[in-house]
């Protein structure tokens, strides 16, 4: 069957060729071909050239390195808008009581535009203020009471700690005396004691001078003599209730200690105890000075107690405190030296051993008393803290309510959120307004912004703060780029740029359109690079090249390119300054092809 089909096909083709129209067509084609071939042979035999003559291609050129403009201008149209345009809205509910503006008025920021009236808001403010004052007084009273309680507990703890310190000193002295009794000489012992006696008297003088200056201000001795009848200027310590009484109490404690010591006949046998006493007295004197400084810090200046007087007294007592503190340190050092005296002969060792045992017992008892005082102090602090915390919590709540009431009352006065010109007004006297309701509109017509769109490839060539021309020409103005949006428009692929302009002279009109011209610098980052027109570059499958003119020939040169700069491109290698570069009609050239320059 397959063989029969093949034979049938052959037969069909022969039948097709034997058809008369087909036979005539083929014959005509053969005759035409024969005639043309004969003409070609005839012409060749007679020296006739039948090929099309070559045509010299015309090109345009430029000299590499000449006429490269490093700047480019970007032009765009933009709309003029106010830099700030805001709606003034009510923040509270109320009735319009006063209006202080009209459309077209120039207003400054925070200027009062409108006053509302609402009796419930004002009543709430008065109640909140009264409640806050009451709770503030309660808090201050609680704080004073708890602070005094803590102070008394701290005094007890300090006394117990001083007792421990004294016991430790006594024990250390006894142990040092026992361990070093054979090493120290009688003369060194006596010299140390003599120095301590001398220092004792000097410390008493320091205490006396400090107390005398304190009494000049507080009149504590006169007050004690008169049974509390001496009244000081009420401005002293006026900002801290009880500070004067506290300072007088500290003075009397220090004065009593001083009086006890001033008549004492210090000797080598008593100098250790006397030095301890004078150290404690110096500590009390330092406390008295601190309390007086506290009084001065909390005093209010008046015609008698002037600011200058207060400043001078503060400076003076700062020096007095430094002297007392220095004396206290010196007394402690002297006390330490006394406590390290050792027994000079072995006959005292037995007594010294007993002294060590006695000192250990005193220290143990002192430590027990000190630990008990710490427990008491901690308990007092915790209780006081809870009381103050409760009072503070109540006061904070009242403060929050007061602040809220003040804010609500303040919201009844509506101020201008920005400086500018009132461009709309939406209320009248007697209008009932709600929070968020628009009252007016303010536009800043003195500072305008112009919005333009820049292509993404040019956006990195401009920068914030750059000056631009607005309506370039005879009446052009200068603006400044103030904002460059971080993303491009998804449709136009352009980036929004905002330009600010000082419109103090009313040069531009809001909502009008202006032309903007931006000059960008296309200078290459590499000073040795060559800039050529992008149209002169030919990009092949495996190379990038240009053509230069050599006589009447086009010569191909492979180049290495850098960044594209507008309509130009940077050439890193392959070209030399001064070469004649083909810029137009070069894409159809071949290397060494004849050309004609038609610049």
pTM over 0.75: no
The mean pLDDT value for 195-207 works out to 93
- 462-479, pLDDT tens digit by residue? 899 899 999 887 678 999
Task: Label residue 524 by pLDDT band (50, 70, 90).
Answer: low
Q: pLDDT band at residue 261, thresholds of 50, 70 and 90?
A: very high
- On whether the CB atoms of residues 175 and 356 are closer than 8 A, the answer is yes
Beta carbons of 545 and 556 less than 8 angstroms apart: yes
Cβ contact 446:145 at 8 Å: no
Contacts of 581 (CB under 8 A, 6+ apart): 61, 62, 63, 64, 532, 536, 546, 547, 548, 549, 575
Residue 121 has pLDDT above 80, yes or no: yes
pLDDT band at 311 (very low <50, low <70, confident <90, very high): very high
- On the question of pLDDT at 13 being above 60, the answer is no
The average pLDDT across 127-140 equals 93
Q: What is the mean pLDDT of residues 9-31?
A: 43
The pLDDT of residue 86 is above 80: yes
Task: Give the least confident one: 139-153, 305-319, 520-534.
Answer: 520-534
301: Cβ–Cβ under 8 A, 6 or more apart, which residues?
Answer: 235, 307, 309, 310
**Distance from chain centroid for Cα 143:** 37
Q: What's the CA gap between 508 and 446, in Å, rounded? A: 10
Average pLDDT, stretch 587-592?
Answer: 91
541 — pLDDT class (breaks 50, 70, 90):
confident
The confidence score (pLDDT) of residue 536 equals 93
pLDDT at 564: 82
The side-by-side arrangement of strands in the sheet containing 413-415 is: 413-415, 112-117, 94-99, 432-433
Q: How confident is the model at residue 7 (pLDDT cuts 50, 70, 90)?
A: very low
- The whole-number pLDDT of residue 182 equals 57
């Amino acid at each position: 069957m397959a063989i029969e089909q093949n034979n049938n096909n052959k037969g069909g083709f022969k039948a097709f060729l034997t058809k008369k129209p087909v036979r005539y067509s083929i014959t005509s084609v053969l005759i035409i071909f024969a005639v043309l071939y004969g003409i070609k042979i005839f012409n060749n035999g007679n020296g006739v050239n039948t090929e099309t003559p070559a045509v010299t291609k015309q090109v345009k050129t430029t000299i590499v390195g000449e006429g490269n403009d490093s700047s480019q201008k970007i032009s765009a149209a933009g709309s003029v808008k106010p830099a700030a345009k805001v709606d003034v809205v009510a923040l509270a509910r109320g009735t319009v009581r006063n209006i202080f503006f009209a459309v077209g008025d120039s207003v400054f920021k925070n200027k009062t535009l409108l006053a509302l009236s609402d009796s419930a808001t004002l009543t709430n403010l008065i109640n909140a203020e009264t409640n806050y004052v009451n709770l503030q007084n309660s808090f201050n009273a609680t704080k004073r009471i708890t602070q005094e309680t803590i102070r008394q507990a701290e005094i007890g703890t300090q006394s117990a700690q001083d007792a421990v310190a004294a016991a430790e000193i006594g024990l250390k002295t006894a142990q040092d005396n026992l361990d070093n009794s054979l090493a120290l000489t009688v003369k060194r012992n006596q010299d140390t004691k003599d120095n301590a006696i001398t220092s004792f008297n000097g410390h008493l003088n320091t205490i006396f001078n400090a107390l005398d200056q304190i009494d000049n201000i507080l009149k504590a001795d006169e007050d004690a003599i008169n049974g509390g009848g001496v009244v000081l200027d009420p401005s002293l310590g006026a900002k801290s209730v009880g500070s004067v009484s506290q300072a007088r109490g500290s003075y009397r404690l220090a004065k009593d200690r001083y009086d006890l010591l001033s008549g004492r006949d210090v000797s080598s046998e008593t100098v250790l105890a006397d030095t301890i006493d004078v150290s404690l007295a110096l500590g009390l004197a330092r406390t008295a000075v601190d309390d007086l400084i506290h009084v001065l810090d909390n005093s209010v200046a008046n015609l008698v107690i002037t600011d200058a007087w207060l400043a001078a007294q503060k400076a003076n007592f700062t020096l007095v405190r430094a002297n007392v503190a220095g004396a206290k340190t010196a007394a402690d050092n002297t006390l330490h030296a006394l406590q390290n005296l050792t027994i000079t002969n072995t006959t005292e060792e037995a007594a010294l051993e007993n002294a060590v045992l006695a000192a250990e017992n005193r220290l143990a008892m002192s430590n027990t008393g000190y630990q008990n005082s710490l427990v008491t102090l901690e308990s007092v602090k915790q209780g006081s803290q809870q009381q103050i915390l409760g009072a503070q919590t109540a006061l904070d709540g009242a403060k929050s309510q007061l602040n809220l009431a003040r804010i609500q009352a303040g919201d009844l006065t509506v101020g201008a959120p920005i400086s500018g010109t009132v461009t709309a007004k939406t209320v009248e006297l007697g209008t009932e307004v709600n929070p968020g309701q628009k009252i007016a509109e303010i536009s800043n017509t003195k500072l305008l912004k112009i919005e333009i769109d820049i292509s993404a490839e040019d956006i990195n060539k401009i920068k914030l703060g750059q000056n631009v021309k607005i309506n370039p020409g005879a009446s052009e103005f200068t603006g400044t780029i103030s904002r460059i949006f971080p993303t491009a428009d998804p449709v136009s692929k352009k980036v929004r740029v905002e330009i600010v302009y000082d419109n103090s002279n009313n040069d531009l009109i809001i909502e009008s359109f202006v032309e903007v011209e931006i000059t960008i610098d296309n200078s290459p980052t590499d000073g040795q690079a060559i800039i050529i027109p992008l149209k002169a570059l030919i990009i092949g499958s495996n190379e990038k090249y240009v053509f230069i003119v050599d006589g009447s020939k086009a010569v191909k040169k492979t180049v290495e390119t850098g960044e594209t700069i507008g309509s130009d491109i940077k050439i890193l290698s392959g070209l030399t300054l001064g070469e004649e570069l083909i810029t137009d009609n070069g894409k159809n050239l071949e290397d060494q092809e004849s050309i004609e320059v038609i610049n």
